[in-house]
Structures are given as C-alpha cells and as structure tokens.
Structure 1
Amino acid sequence: MSTVISNAVNAVATLASISTVDKVGRRTLFIEGGAQMFLTQVIIGIAIAVKFGVSGNPGELSKGFVDGLLACICVYVAGFAWSWGPLGWLVPSEIFPLEVRSAAQSINVATNMIFTFVIAQVFTTMLCHLKFGLFFFFAFWVLIMNIFIYKYLPETKGVPIEDMHTIWQKHPFWKKYVLQDKGIAMDKEGHDDV
C-alpha cells in the first residue's frame, strides 16, 4: 500500500510541476524541492538511527512511527517529483545552443543513466554498511546539488533559446567561459554577412 501511496504522490506532484514551472521558475522549484528532499532525508535518517540504531533491530514498530516515515517519504517524493525529476530533463534542453543541443542532451541522458545504474548497483551494499547513515549520505549530495543550482544555474523561465548565450555571457560565474559577442552579423544560414 505504501508503494501505491508514494506513486500517487509522485504523479500528483509531477502534474503540479507541469502547471507551475512557467509561473514560479526553474530555479525556485529546484531550490524548494531540494530543500524539501534534504530535510526529509535528514529526518528519516534521524528517525531510523533512533529507532534501529546500529544493530538494525527496531523491536516493535508502532503504527505512528511507520505512518510518520511514510509521510516523510511522500514529502521527499513530492519534492523530487516537482523539481529534480522533471526539471533534470527540461533545463538541459533549454540551456544549450542549438548547434550543440542534440549532442549535449545525449551526454546528459547518458550521464543520468550511468549514475542511475551505478546507484542501483551499490545501494544495497551501501545500506548494509552505512545503515541509517545512507540517508545522511544522500542528504549531503542533495545539499551540494542545491548549492550548485543556487550559485551556477541561471533562471531559464521565459528565456527564448536564441537568447541563452546572452544569459550565460551575463552570469557572474559563467561569463568568463563564454565567448563574448563580437557584433558579427550572420545571415539565416549562419554565414558572415559581408
């Protein structure tokens, strides 16, 4: 039943993301969802540490404890489903110039799949060794992800794809890595106008 509940939360939160992403912006959803994910990972880690300890034997689990964990998991799933889940695919499609978009998206998809595969392979081993510490491990990485978004990702809401180069040129960090426009006029085929 808990799987049905968390999957329903996932579906509803993804629909919420679809309806709000252009109103509130990508950065806002990333940061809010990341904060939600971080806090619930920490809360779940603490709850399991207190109840299970390092022995892994919780004794009798009360209905309130189980319901509380399920609620935290649902809050985590909702945070992921309206932020990092869908936006991890949307934002990369918006930030790359047309000339490299397909190659960049291919790299994005491959990287995502590789890390998903690696985490799936090592998760059980990590859980056996880290126990409740696994939640703190993932909370740490969610925090790093949020800091990265806060410092390095420009808002792409309402920005036409053709204007992304200008956004990168004006960004406090990325501007030193982006070629500045030299004022060369291009015709529709991309050739210099002479």
Structure 2
Amino acid sequence: MFLCQVGVAIVLGVTTGVSGTGHISRDHAILVLVLMCLYAAGFGWSWGPLSWLIPSEIFPMKIRPTGQSISVAVNFAATFVLSQTFLTMLCHFKFGTFLFYAGWILVMTIFVLLFLPETKGIPLDKMHVVWERHWFWRRFVKEQ
C-alpha cells in the first residue's frame, strides 16, 4: 500500500509537474489506475478487515461490546472525514496528497508493530494477561 501511494505520487508529480496543471498521458493514467487497484487490493487483504477483526480479539470479555462499538464509530467517522477531505486535499496538495497518505500508512505500520500485541493462540478470556505483560500497555492495565 505504501509503495502504491508513493508510486502514484511520483507518476503524478512527474507528469503533471509541481503545479499539477500538466496533462497526463494515457499510459501514465493506466499506470496510476493499476497502482490504485493494487492499493485497493492490498487494503482489502490487510488493513481493511483489521478494523473489524482486531477489536474482537484484543478487548477483554468485560468490555468487548463497548470496545467494538467505539471502534466501529471511530472507523465510520474517519471514513467520513477522509471521503469529505480527499478532493480538497488533492486540489491543494496535488500529488502530495498521496505522499500524505503514504506517511500515515508508515505511521500506522510502526504503531501496530510497537503497540499491538500478538493474539495468536490466546484464548479470549486470557487477553488481560497479554495487556498486563506488554512493554507499554502494562502500566495502564492492573493485574487481575
């Protein structure tokens, strides 16, 4: 996903220029389309389902319904904000919009690597132990 966003930014930056007023050739337009399709496929296979899967795995049984409700609400709100601001960003930042989103993909990846614990093989009723042992989150979770 990161590489596709950067690729789109490079193609648009090179073909339309910094001002974003240049014309893009048919071949470059096809390349942008292919990159965006690869991005959508990558999102569908990775980040897309995670907003539904991770909350069901990481929240302890006591707060799972509340946690998932908040997760869904935040997901919908973020989707709304992104869809409402994309065209304005594209008009002002030109190809930089795709670099902006690529930067957020990088930030999200680093966040997941550092702060999201592995849940493979952990029973749902033992998730509190994972949080109690995590290097960062243990200071916020009291042992049961």
Distance, in Å, in 2 between the alignment partners of 1:68 and 1:122 is 24
**Quick one: which amino acid aligns to residue 170 of structure 1?**
R
Q: Deviations over 1:154-193 (max 9, x none)?
A: 1112221111111111111111111113xxxxxxxxxxxx
Distance, in Å, in 2 between the alignment partners of 1:130 and 1:40 is 18
TM-score, length basis structure 2: 0.93
Check whether the contact 2:20–2:95 (CA below 8 A) recurs between aligned residues: no
- Residue of structure 2 aligned with 1:85, choices 48, 59, 74: 48
Distance, in Å, in 2 between the alignment partners of 1:60 and 1:120 is 24
Q: Secondary structure at the match of 2:71?
A: helix
Check whether the contact 1:91–1:156 (CA below 8 A) recurs between aligned residues: no
Q: Residue 15 of structure 1 corresponds to which residue in structure 2?
A: none
Counting only pairs closer than 5 Å after superposition, residues 151-170 of structure 1 correspond to structure 2 as 151-170=114-133
C-alpha displacement at 1:75, in angstroms? 1.8
Distance, in Å, in 1 between the alignment partners of 2:102 and 2:5 is 5
- Residue of structure 2 aligned with 1:51, choices 7, 15, 28: 15
Q: Percent identity?
A: 51
**Given the alignment of the two structures, is residue 38 of structure 1 paired with residue 2 of structure 2, yes or no?**
yes
C-alpha displacement at 1:79, in angstroms? 1.4
**Given the alignment of the two structures, is residue 62 of structure 1 paired with residue 26 of structure 2, yes or no?**
yes
Check whether the contact 2:2–2:106 (CA below 8 A) recurs between aligned residues: yes
**Quick one: which amino acid aligns to residue 82 of structure 2?**
I
**Quick one: which amino acid aligns to residue 94 of structure 1?**
E
TM-score, length basis structure 1: 0.70
Q: Residue 136 of structure 2 corresponds to which residue in structure 1?
A: 173
Q: Pairwise CA RMSD of aligned residues?
A: 1.4
Check whether the contact 1:38–1:142 (CA below 8 A) recurs between aligned residues: yes
Counting only pairs closer than 5 Å after superposition, residues 6-155 of structure 1 correspond to structure 2 as 37-59=1-23, 61-63=25-27, 65-155=28-118
- Point out where structure 1 has 5 or more consecutive residues left out of the alignment: 1-36, 182-194
- Point out where structure 2 has 5 or more consecutive residues left out of the alignment: none
Of 72-81 and 134-143, deviating more is 72-81
C-alpha displacement at 1:60, in angstroms? 5.4
Q: Deviations over 1:106-152 (max 9, x none)?
A: 11111111111111111111110001000011011111100100000
Q: Secondary structure at the match of 1:135?
A: helix
Of 49-58 and 132-141, deviating more is 49-58
1:146–1:60 distance in 2 versus 1, CA, 3 Å? closer
Check whether the contact 2:51–2:71 (CA below 8 A) recurs between aligned residues: no
Distance, in Å, in 2 between the alignment partners of 1:60 and 1:89 is 38
